[in-house]
Structure 1
């Protein structure tokens, strides 16, 4: 969307390491920290990821940084530019619309699979998260509501029992976390989301795979509509 500042705050990157200290396998730790910095918004779309400055920030050689950037590129979070520099992958309106096309289909399939073998434990987990979402909505705590929303979708995909689907939706979650602003700031959206979630859960509980998929897809279509409205300032 918007261009990022020329120099992101590299010095803040160590805070994304567990305890703020580099422990364990260096490449994995740096990859995880950079991923979280990107998803958190510290390193915004199109921000430069300069090997020398990243190495200095983490107090490591450039080798693990280079490998971390390669891995983030494989995940679609970073992009090699024509002059061989690396930037955080930009986000265009077309990218966001494409994301929601994929998400609608995958979330629908997830709900269908979950309803195909309804689990008491899954329904209980989704209902418990739903209750906490209601409390966050009543308190107008959008950051908490956003985290709980991701937790709800994460619990649903885990409950679908398909490792490939779980993996693909994990990548979708990363993409969603990068989107500017939360659709839950949109007037009336928190209550809509809670009601839409409940409809999906009740269909799963009843073992109604067709309805669960239909409602999950409708939930994502509505999310796309709100996202477009938010992006266009509506």
Structure 2
């Protein structure tokens, strides 16, 4: 649970104070599952790197997301433990055990309205929702395109209006098979295309998260792929020109926007 090698200079601290209201801190899980990279969304600069540790040894996460109702960073380990990650030092605390038999490499996001978290499998489109406090889970329908076709390859998901007290939300999916952004019809599991991302996604190692600004009441979406950070237009699906993030590994597992 130690920070590694990142000391914020006075210039960086001053720059942080002058950031726009739209700036967000992105938590990116490395492909090894035991490292967390904190990145500033405006500058695409690496702020800090944390080792994930329970106090008795390293912890390896399968995936993670922020629980909007409480602002906590929640993860699921490779042995199905539900954990909370301390963003200040990487300390990992066990909460419960996930009640799902199988957990293939999955994307995760937490619903701000239902206050449950969703897992989606990249390989077969399977999905499940669970309570982050008890681990009680229910399996939903496998994903499919609304207009038919082959099996989607969803690498990352995210909910809009991710804040406590949200009255409504939309679930967005990043599909590697078509390199496009979709809106998902909840447990109906049908994906409606928003548009082409314009990013050559060729693996499941994609980070995607949506930040909600309570003052402007607007959502901002971010995508990370192969060391580059993109802003994503949720109305058109198009991604901006990517910004290189120095110090970020090429392979990642998941991404979340920290409150």
Normalized per residue, which structure has more strand? Answer: 2
Structure 2-normalised TM-score? 0.23
Structure 1-normalised TM-score? 0.25
Normalized per residue, which structure has more helix? Answer: 1
Structure scoring higher RCO (CA < 8 A, sep ≥ 6) equals: 1
